[in-house]
Structure 1
Amino acid sequence: MEIICIDKRIFDELIVRLSEIEKKVTRLCSPAKDAGLKKWMDNRDVCEVLRISKRTLQVYREKGLLPYTRIKNKIFYRPEDVQKLLESSDHPQRKKP
């Protein structure tokens, strides 16, 4: 077995760097977080909740009744905005068929 002597300052720096690497590896290997996108709803989800057609949903967007975010060509809605519309007088409550 070979013994290698290094300066304490260098050893401490090495420990700090290894600790940083460990944190990065742990972060990269942990289940990927979606940056909140799981909380967002797409057109299909909103149409199901509000029981409306895609065209009606488009009208709601055009009238500014339902805030949305467009990422590339996909439109997303915050669940709290959908709930607010559902509870408002702007959305006619429809009974399930």
Structure 2
Amino acid sequence: MEFVGIEKQMFEEMVRKFEQFEQKVMEICNQRNDKKLNKWMDNQEVCNFLNISPRTLQTLRDNGTLSFSQIKHKMFYKPEDVQNIAIRIKNNPHTTKKRV
């Protein structure tokens, strides 16, 4: 693994520019009234919907069974992907452990 060091000032400038970019993207989404991200599900919603534990959800992510998008440190899931997993669990309930 290769590490690249940068000066603190350069890093802070990169973070500032990324935050500006993030703000612009959110402004564009709001202008277009395109709030599809609000329709996406977060970890808690998926766990409740599938009746699984957070650890089981992590396993589904780790093994590629359930695709996700990550923004900062928060995971988001397309409802249709979650619905497909629900169908698979219904057809084969031994694929995941149920939350107690």
TM-score, normalization: structure 2?
0.56
Report the aligned-residue RMSD: 3.1
Corresponding residue of 1:84 = 84
CA distance in 2, matches of 1:35, 1:74: 17
Alignment gaps of 5+ in structure 1:
1-29
Corresponding residue of 1:64 = 64
Corresponding residue of 2:48 = 48
Alignment gaps of 5+ in structure 2:
1-29
Task: Flag the structure with higher helix content.
Answer: 2
Q: Does structure 1 retain, via aligned residues, the 8 Å contact 2:68–2:77?
A: yes
Q: Does structure 2 retain, via aligned residues, the 8 Å contact 1:46–1:82?
A: yes
Distance 1:54 1:34, change over 3 A: farther
Any idea what SS the aligned residue of 1:47 has? helix
Distance 1:51 1:90, change over 3 A: same
Distance 1:69 1:49, change over 3 A: same
Any idea what SS the aligned residue of 2:65 has? coil
Corresponding residue of 1:75 = 75
- Higher Cα radius of gyration: 1
What's the CA shift for 1:39?
Answer: 1.0
What's the CA shift for 1:57?
Answer: 0.2
How many residues align? The count is: 68
More contact order relative to length (CA 8 Å, sep ≥ 6): 2
CA distance in 2, matches of 1:94, 1:55: 10
Q: Which moved more, 1:86-95 or 1:32-41?
A: 86-95
Q: Percent of counterpart pairs with the same letter?
A: 44
Q: Does structure 2 retain, via aligned residues, the 8 Å contact 1:41–1:77?
A: yes
